[in-house]
Amino acid sequence: DQQVKQNSPSLSVQEGRISILNCDYTNSMFDYFLWYKKYPAEGPTFLISISSIKDKNEDGRFTVFLNKSAKHLSLHIVPSQPGDSAVYFCAAKEGGSEKLVFGKGTKLTVNP
């Protein structure tokens, strides 16, 4: 039973446009959410995070939005660059736990 769902296995966008990656969760005890980026043959690397007390966190071209009532979060990349092409994983954790639960990932392709 997937507690963190990324329903789009892939996404393709043009360079310079916005990329929006979506993630839904079912566990209302999750209080911290993260996005990881993974290039082929490498381990996932941390990208950006958000606490459940916020609804937005921004870091350069990357912004994460959290809608707690809908149990939904999204990652916006503006403007998208070819180097952003990777698999993006959404992850979540419950308060008091160190355990991160990951979605299955969305493969982003940014076309020049």
Binding site for another protein (CB under 8 A): 32, 34, 36, 41-46, 49, 51, 89, 93, 98-105
Residue 72 tokens read as: 């939904």
User: Closer to another protein at the Cβ: 28 or 51?
Assistant: 51
User: Closer to another protein at the Cβ: 3 or 15?
Assistant: 3
Q: How far is the CB of 107 from another protein (least distance, A)?
A: 11
User: Closer to another protein at the Cβ: 40 or 112?
Assistant: 40
Q: DSSP E strands: which ranges in 1-112?
A: 4-5, 10-14, 19-25, 30-38, 45-51, 56-59, 62-67, 72-77, 86-94, 101-102, 106-111
